[in-house]
Chains A and B, each alone.
Chain A
Amino acid sequence: MTNDVIKEAVAKQQSTDRKLSTDNSVLGKVMTFHIGDQIYGIEIQYVTEIIEMQHITKVPHVPSYIKGIINVRSKVVPIVDIRSRFGKEEIPYTSRTCIIILSFNELSVGIIVDSVADVEDIHSHDISATPENRSVNTNSFIQYMIRSGDDVKLILDVAKLLDDEG
């Protein structure tokens, strides 16, 4: 989703015009996954596939969050550990650990997540913008948030995640 769409959705919620603010449309789908207790999401159009954890070939001279490369149906794909990318402590991989293959601008990257949760609709009512405070380490990778009940899901900015020099 573009930032404009998000802004518009947020603006609509705050709008005094009742007709606008009751218009709860579905803007897209996200795939959600767990990192620790937190639920993150990635818009579905960036997700190519989900594969289970497998042997990763290490590549020298890269930052520690790049775990290496794997062979996904004859394509060589680099793998990033999201925990370590976000500066969280790494935990041992379990049977629930998954690799989500993302593609963006012809760039393919796999991310390691604790476990995959669900695929759900994005309702324009649930969207809220991230706080301006950028001091939180992971904040820069969050494009917007989705509130549903008490849960808050952080939706990752794939462009930043893959392009960012970090």
Chain B
Amino acid sequence: MAKIEPGMESMLDMYFYETNSLLEQLDEILLRTEQANSFDSEDIKEIFRIMHTIKGSSAMMGFENLSVLAHKAEDMFFVIRENPDVITDVSFVYDLVFQVSDSYKAQIELIQNNINGEYEQMDFSELINKLLKARDALVGETKGDTPAQAEAIASGAAPDPEAAANGAAPAAPAPAADNKTTVRVFFEDGCQMENLRAFLLINTIRDACKELEFEPADVENNPETAKEIVDKGFLITFVPHDSVDEVLKAIESALNVQSYEVVSTPAAAPAEPAKTELPPEPKAATPAAAPAPAAAPAPAPAQHAPAQTSVEKAQAAVEKAQAAAGGAQKQSLISVNLAKLDALHDIVGEIITTESMVISNPDLDGLELESFNKAARQLRKLTSELQDTVMSIRMVPLAGVFQKMNRIVRDMKKKLNKDVEFVMEGEDTEVDKSIVDSLQDPLMHLVRNCMDHGIEEHVEERTAEGKPAKGTLKLTAQNASGEVIITVSDDGAGIDPEKIMNKARKQGILTKPESEYTEKEIQNLILLPGFSTNETVTEFSGRGVGMDVVKANVEKCGGSIIVDSKKGEGTTFIIKIPLTLAIIDGMEITVGDLVFTVPISTIRESFKAESSQILRDTKNNEMIMIRGVCYPILRMHEKFAIDTEITNLEDGILLLVETDNKSVCIFADKLIGEQQVVVKPFPAYLNKYNIKGEGLSGCTIMGDGSISLIIDTNTLIG
């Protein structure tokens, strides 16, 4: 058990956010390059830098094991960076780095779950040994190629990459001898931990420099150097890639730098040191304005600049993440606590309800209110804009979740020894953040199922069916009429209805005579609790939980899932999820003492029936003839078993509703009027009952506080 260092708690969130996004980035690079089967030098540099940043921030937070692990991985990539050709066994390197990334995530989760005190420190020694061996092996390769360089790396005197870099550089320490520039940097008084700040500064300018030396050299590990830096300043000697000015600018804009002086430049001999005073106000207060703050050490100033708001801190973090993403372009992004957005989203919902309460207030009935109506229209326009904006704030692309599935497919491919291609479509589809979060688990289950059960075990089974040897797993997403439709499909063996039926019979989950089950119904039996056809339980699936959990999870966010499969051709899971904060224009109707909301978009017309229009077929089903077309009549009070006095078709009102080319006339007591309503899902407690399947999609709170049930025209008719 280890404890989180006191005083660091406030930075934990930042650390988690930053490290997690770096790890995601790492995974993405790895997956991308693995597909291409080669690292290019940019990627290697990127990975190196990610490891480096993680190492630095972990060390600062006092997570020793994490920092050591990153250090070793960094070491390995240092060798690769110096000589990209050394990799002989690419997949070995990938496996190793994936392991590192996974270990990281696991440890971070452990720490995250135990914020108030102790956390379990994972033992990475095995992995570290592996990394060391890999590095040694790589160094061995390098030795064969360029002995001189390899020696510099392998010589125990230079275990640190930075030091090794120095060792490898042509040894010419004489200042101003060639094109080197030496700068002395002073940090703000009392900013503390000067050695770490110096180290972060070095990181910031490293990329802009061809060569880089600094004095004192052991700032990273030796806190004693802090005092030296305060007294004598921090000496940096560098050879820039492009211009000296660029590096100087980066130093100037770095955090906590009070002033710097150029000690020597390549052109002139050490002339009068040009001292540059920086404006006294801390740069941290305006991170957005600072030009290219690159890897600005966001967490560090947080302690000392209490005036800095959390938003600005977050902004610094985002910028840092962007800098890490290699994008030099500056985007003004902030990260916001989701709880705040939830609150905003709830308030907007209430505002819209209240707006309806005011504008359609019964006190206003029968009044001529020209200017009131004008103002009301303006208000409605603004609230609907507000609603759109709030919705768009919460929208994030599905790419992140899809990318994770890519990772799962990759791992399972290796474990199960199946050749599968992973295809993504529409990963830029944006959905509400809460939906993205709750979709991750179900999608993972489905992808695992497809990989494990869907795709055939042996290639021969595929070729015998005339399918390509390589399986395909496809993940798609699209927006369609207020819903997000996500599909997971494979071109594997498909679902055998016979097998499902046998299993269902054994499990005793059939609820009607077998002959009455349609193929679709049989397929969807696999979504029931306690159903798993895989004979053996594997690491990935087959525990008999899973599909029903998937279903429950999807339903939790108001969605539905269906299975579509053809034996021998593959299986497709279709998930439909409504966009949240759905605000619909609804028509309120009453039936007995219940109020229903019918989405206006589905209503074609409403009218009073005349007895001459009403027909009955041989089974006594009621129909109505409108302009020569015959429509069936659906009595709401019968459908939902409601007591009402109005049962005569001529006394009530008929609504002609239409979806997907199907039309029906709904019979209700009377129309109340049109209203904008905020769709709320039914309470989770009611999920086990089939309310949704019977034509109700949710409920809404109306202006007077009462509840109205929202009709889902599709399922009502279907």
Decide whether A and B assemble into one complex: yes
Residues of A within 8 A of B (CB): 55, 57-63, 66, 69-71, 74, 76-78, 106-109, 162, 165
Distance in Å: Cβ of A51 to nearest Cβ of chain B: 13
- Find A60's partner among B641, B683, B708 (CB 8 Å cutoff): B641
Residue pair A107, B594 in contact (C-beta under 8 Å):
no
- Residue among A57, A60, A74, A107 with most chain B CB within 10 A: A60
**Which residues of A lie under 8 Å from residue B404 when comparing CB positions?**
none
Chain B residue with minimal CB distance to A104? B685
Residue pair A69, B701 in contact (C-beta under 8 Å):
no
Kindly list the 9 A-B residue pairs having the minimum CB-CB distance in the complex, ordered from nearest.
A60-B640, A57-B707, A78-B683, A62-B689, A78-B685, A71-B701, A61-B694, A109-B685, A76-B680
**Which residues of B lie under 8 Å from residue A63 when comparing CB positions?**
689
User: Given A78-B686, A109-B685, do A59 and B706 touch, yes or no (CB 8 Å)?
Assistant: no
**Which residues of B lie under 8 Å from residue A108 when comparing CB positions?**
683, 685
Q: What is the interface of chain B mostly: helix, strand, loop, or mixed?
A: mixed
Render B590-610 as a binary contact track against A, CB cut-off 8 A, 1 for contact. Answer: 000111000000000000000
Complexed CA–CA distance, A162 and B694 (Å): 23
A-B contacts at CB below 8 angstroms, number: 70
Residue pair A61, B690 in contact (C-beta under 8 Å):
yes
Residue pair A62, B684 in contact (C-beta under 8 Å):
no
Distance in Å: Cβ of A40 to nearest Cβ of chain B: 20
Complexed CA–CA distance, A165 and B349 (Å): 33
Complexed CA–CA distance, A109 and B595 (Å): 22
Distance in Å: Cβ of B555 to nearest Cβ of chain A: 14
Number of chain B residues whose Cβ lies closer than 8 Å to a Cβ of chain A: 30
User: Given A57-B594, A61-B690, A61-B694, do A77 and B683 touch, yes or no (CB 8 Å)?
Assistant: yes
Distance in Å: Cβ of B705 to nearest Cβ of chain A: 5
**Which residues of B lie under 8 Å from residue A70 when comparing CB positions?**
707
Distance in Å: Cβ of A38 to nearest Cβ of chain B: 25
Residue pair A62, B691 in contact (C-beta under 8 Å):
yes
- Residue among A62, A70, A106 with most chain B CB within 10 A: A62
Residue pair A58, B680 in contact (C-beta under 8 Å):
no
- Find A58's partner among B642, B684, B701 (CB 8 Å cutoff): B642
Residue pair A69, B691 in contact (C-beta under 8 Å):
no
Residue pair A62, B594 in contact (C-beta under 8 Å):
no
Q: Is B696 an interface residue (CB 8 A)?
A: yes
User: 10 interchain pairs (CB within 8 A)?
Assistant: A57-B706, A59-B696, A60-B640, A60-B642, A61-B640, A61-B691, A62-B689, A71-B706, A74-B346, A109-B683
Distance in Å: Cβ of B346 to nearest Cβ of chain A: 7
**Which residues of B lie under 8 Å from residue A109 when comparing CB positions?**
683, 685
Chain B residue with minimal CB distance to A163? B685
Render B115-138 as a binary contact track against A, CB cut-off 8 A, 1 for contact. Answer: 000000000000000000000000
- Residue among A55, A57, A61, A107 with most chain B CB within 10 A: A61
**Which residues of A lie under 8 Å from residue B696 when comparing CB positions?**
59-60
Given contacts A57-B709, A61-B690, A71-B705, 20 further A-B contacts (CB under 8 A): A57-B595, A57-B706, A58-B594, A58-B642, A59-B709, A61-B640, A61-B689, A61-B691, A62-B686, A62-B691, A66-B686, A66-B689, A69-B683, A69-B699, A76-B682, A76-B699, A78-B682, A106-B684, A107-B685, A165-B688
- Find B686's partner among A55, A58, A59, A71 (CB 8 Å cutoff): A59
Render B670-703 as a binary contact track against A, CB cut-off 8 A, 1 for contact. Answer: 0000000000101111101111001010010100
Q: Is B350 an interface residue (CB 8 A)?
A: yes
Distance in Å: Cβ of B512 to nearest Cβ of chain A: 17
Distance in Å: Cβ of A27 to nearest Cβ of chain B: 25
- Find A76's partner among B595, B639, B641, B683 (CB 8 Å cutoff): B683
**Which residues of B lie under 8 Å from residue A58 when comparing CB positions?**
593-594, 642
- Residue among B593, B686, B694 with most chain A CB within 10 A: B686
User: Given A60-B696, A61-B690, A76-B701, do A71 and B685 touch, yes or no (CB 8 Å)?
Assistant: no
Complexed CA–CA distance, A13 and B131 (Å): 60
Distance in Å: Cβ of B217 to nearest Cβ of chain A: 54
**Which residues of B lie under 8 Å from residue A74 when comparing CB positions?**
346, 349-350, 353, 701
**Which residues of A lie under 8 Å from residue B691 when comparing CB positions?**
59-62
**Which residues of B lie under 8 Å from residue A60 when comparing CB positions?**
639-642, 691, 694, 696
Complexed CA–CA distance, A78 and B641 (Å): 19
**Which residues of B lie under 8 Å from residue A59 when comparing CB positions?**
682, 686, 691, 696, 709
Render B573-600 as a binary contact track against A, CB cut-off 8 A, 1 for contact. Answer: 0000000000000000000011100000
